[in-house]
Amino acid sequence: MSVHSLFGPSLRLPIIAAPMFLVSGLELVQACCHAGIVGSFPAANARTLDDLRDWLTQMQAFQKTHPNAAPYAVNIILLDKMNDRKEEELALAEEFQVPVLITSVGDPTTTVQRAHAWGGKVIHDVVSIRHAQKAAAAKVDGLILVTSGAGGHTGPLNPFAFISQIREFWDGLLIVGGSVSNGQTVRALEVVGADMAYIGSRFIATNESMAQQEYKDILVSSEAADVILSPIFSGVPAHYLKPSIARVGLDPNHYTAEEVKEKNIKAWRDVWSAGHGVGSIHDIIPAAELVDRLEAEYRQAAAKPVF
């Protein structure tokens, strides 16, 4: 399935602004869609089901008043033990005929069947070749490869190896995330076999994101050396910013699970994440301006001779 057959002709750049917990809200999603890229939010960011209904109502109205905007996507975690309101979230997605679901963790087979019945599409994020094979067998509409260097819960594989090995059995839509902070990297992913880029950290440092101002300021002042991989805060390996660990009273280089538990420190709420591409983030700007910049960089890279 091609990029435009899934997302329509309104897509300006092959980019999805990734759904980020406690960061991606309606203002950021709508700004991204209006600028011509796919905006997305985790269903979990709507703290209650009533809130989720309200968000979907507003997105439905936005689509009607902005018919030329790019579509939006909603991220739903499929594993019951990680999402005890999964069924209710899927029911609301069906009621509002959400155009694209980004599914995470779990078997997407029944979700794909359900979404296709209302005309929706499902793209599934994976961190391993085995998980990608399972998602392909479930007939998802696209795969999102979360590669080494991605913010949040990251994958272990180098993008060059991951993309090439996935392309041995998957010729469908391929979206890749991990350290993508500029338009040149978006174009580079296309060259090595991807169809779209999945960008998270760069959109945290926008005016419209829900991130605290201190979080945005830390992003702008950080570089790759400030990103560390730790399983302690969430139970699985994820990338965090050292300055955000220091701000809660921990030594970023020497801390224990016992200290984290004693201080009641929570991932995403108290300690903040970014990928290895954080060193390319130098300012906090409106999402529309960021998309303009990404397009200029992308076009410049696309026009450059290979040799």
CB 27 within 8 A of CB 211: no
CB 52: neighbour CB atoms within 10 A? Answer: 22
Angle ∠(175,42,294) on CA atoms, nearest 5: 45
Residues 26-70: tens digit of each pLDDT: 999 999 999 999 999 999 999 999 999 999 999 999 999 999 999
Residues 139-177: tens digit of each pLDDT: 999 999 999 999 999 999 999 999 999 999 999 999 999
Taking alpha carbons only, the member of 201, 191, 186 closest to residue 277 is: 201
Average pLDDT in the chain? 95
If one compares 5 and 71, the residue with the highest pLDDT of the two is 71
Residues 63-116: tens digit of each pLDDT: 999 999 999 999 999 988 889 999 999 999 999 999 999 999 999 999 999 999
Say whether pLDDT at 5 is over 80: no
pTM: 0.95
Q: Which residues contact 302 (CB under 8 A, 6 or more apart)?
A: 187
Q: Would you state the pLDDT for residue 253?
A: 92
Q: What is the DSSP letter of 168?
A: T
If you average pLDDT over residues 203-216, what whole number do you get? Answer: 97
* Tokens standing for residue 152: 């949040």
Say whether pLDDT at 1 is over 60: no
Virtual torsion, Cα 182, 162, 190, 32, nearest 10 deg: -50
If you average pLDDT over residues 265-273, what whole number do you get? Answer: 95
- Residue 44 backbone dihedrals phi, psi, to 5 degrees: -65, -20
CB 261: neighbour CB atoms within 10 A? Answer: 10
Burial class (CB in 10 A: 0-12, 13-18, 19+), 279: middle
What is d(CA 210, CA 17) in angstroms, rounded to the nearest whole number? 14
Q: Where does the pLDDT of residue 4 fall: very low under 50, low under 70, confident under 90, or very high at 90 and above?
A: confident
Q: Would you state the pLDDT for residue 292?
A: 98
b or e along 297-307 (b: 16 or more beta carbons within 10 Å of the residue's beta carbon)?
bbeebeeeeee
Q: Would you state the pLDDT for residue 228?
A: 95
Taking alpha carbons only, the member of 178, 180, 170, 167 closest to residue 140 is: 170
Say whether pLDDT at 181 is over 70: yes
Q: Would you state the pLDDT for residue 304?
A: 84
Q: Would you state the pLDDT for residue 2?
A: 67
Virtual torsion, Cα 24, 184, 125, 238, nearest 10 deg: -70
CB 53 within 8 A of CB 80: no
Q: Would you state the pLDDT for residue 238?
A: 94
Q: Would you state the pLDDT for residue 62?
A: 98
Q: What is the DSSP letter of 120?
A: -
Q: Would you state the pLDDT for residue 307?
A: 72
Q: Would you state the pLDDT for residue 74?
A: 98
Element (H, E) at 229: strand 227-230
Q: Would you state the pLDDT for residue 104?
A: 94
Q: Report the percent of the chain where pLDDT is more than 70.
A: 99
- Residue 137 backbone dihedrals phi, psi, to 5 degrees: -65, -25
Q: Would you state the pLDDT for residue 3?
A: 84
Q: Show the domains of the chain with their CATH numbers.
A: 3-210+283-303 (3.20.20.70), 223-273 (no CATH)
What is d(CA 301, CA 307) in angstroms, rounded to the nearest whole number? 13
Q: Would you state the pLDDT for residue 198?
A: 98
If you average pLDDT over residues 112-139, what whole number do you get? Answer: 97
Residues 278-288: tens digit of each pLDDT: 999 999 999 99
Residues 218-248: tens digit of each pLDDT: 999 999 999 999 999 998 899 999 999 999 9
